[in-house]
Amino acid sequence: MAVSMSPKQKVYQDVLQEIRKYIDSNDLDPGDKLPSERELADNLKAGRSSVREALRAMELLGLIETRRGEGTYLSTYRPYQTVELLSSFILQGNKTKKDLLITKKVMEKEVAKIAYHSISENDINQLQSITHNSELDPIEKHVAFFNYLFRKADNLLLAKVWKLMDEFSYTIVKLSYDKAFYQELIQLYKTRNYEMIEELFDKLSIESIS
């Protein structure tokens, strides 16, 4: 059954959107101070109670922090706690979990193909360094390896979506591929064998992901 949104909820949602626009239009960065509750209400033409609720929601999500006697500041967003909380509600059932892992694998396959076109010899060396880094465990190597490919793909939105999915999946399974996989992908970059990237990923099964 659909749940209708009350007028109060709609105002609160609109205020959140307006605060987001205010932050963007004023080029505010983490560490910058937000206007006071009263100033925001005046600037946004909104009630102070709606502004207060919106700020509380942002603080709960770790987007802002209130310093006693100083004011409200933008935070450097660290989504791990929020992701863990949300995933306990969202990631219920084996089908949902499997779908998440499949989707994440598809994204990693696509970024491997996109990055292919800009991979240099130096990049290959950097990827080798990641796979041989004894200070990283398999999970950390996986994240570092694909973080590098996402930077080479130069698609910020794709990278953000993958990062969020990685954080979600981390709450249910510690995801990495067999160590031979990374070497095979690097070899395909070395030999300029684009066509085999798809096949390499297609050989992976969700059951074999550790």
Per-residue pLDDT tens for 68-86? Answer: 888 899 887 555 555 555 5
- Among 75-84, 139-148, 172-181, the minimum mean pLDDT is found in 75-84
Inter-residue contact 107 to 113 (CB < 8 Å): no
For domain 7-74, the question of CATH label 1.10.10.10 is answered with yes
112-126 confidence digits (pLDDT tens): 999 999 999 999 999
The per-residue pLDDT for 151 is: 92
Q: What is the pLDDT of residue 28?
A: 86
CB atoms within 10 A of CB 45: 8
User: For 32-38, what is the mean pLDDT?
Assistant: 90
**What predicted TM-score, i.e. pTM, was given to this entire model?**
0.60
Smallest CA-to-CA distance from 81 within 150, 170, 175, 12 is with 170
Which ranges in the chain are annotated with CATH 1.10.10.10? 7-74
Numbered ranges of CATH 1.20.120 in the chain: 93-205
* The pLDDT of residue 173: 62
With a cut of 50, say whether residue 5 has pLDDT above it. Answer: no
- CATH class of segment(s) 93-205: mainly alpha
pLDDT (0 to 100) of residue 2: 39
